[in-house]
Amino acid sequence: MLRGLKSIPDAYYQAAQIDGASRWAVFTAIQLPKMNRVLLIAVLLRFMDSFMIYTEPFVVTGGGPGNSTTFISIDWSRSRSGNSTSARPPRCRSSTT
């Protein structure tokens, strides 16, 4: 990320300073648009990394209590195998006596 910020030419910052741009304006008009590819790759790598953490939490908690510690990867795995119990209310059993 720091490397991406350093790759932005100084001319952009100098032009913003001449125009009297605030720090927020520099961030939204210069840094964020110039860093969009770096940010996209960082988000994609983090997203892929989130699928690698599957075994430890599942073994320790099993996704419970309830679904409070269920990760996206565990939820997708359950829905693909047909064992999806997330977001389903419990069935009410009527007693017929």
**Locate tokens 């269920």: which residue?**
70
Give the whole-angstrom CA distance, residue 15 versus residue 21: 9
Q: Is the pLDDT of residue 14 over 60?
A: yes
- What is the pLDDT, as a whole number, of residue 48? 81
Q: Are 30 and 16 in contact (CB under 8 A)?
A: yes
pTM given for the model: 0.50
22-72: pLDDT as tens digits: 999 999 999 999 888 888 998 999 888 877 776 677 677 766 677 666 766
- Please enumerate in sequence order all residues whose Cβ is within 8 A of that of 35, keeping only pairs 6 or more positions apart, or say none: 1, 4, 5, 8
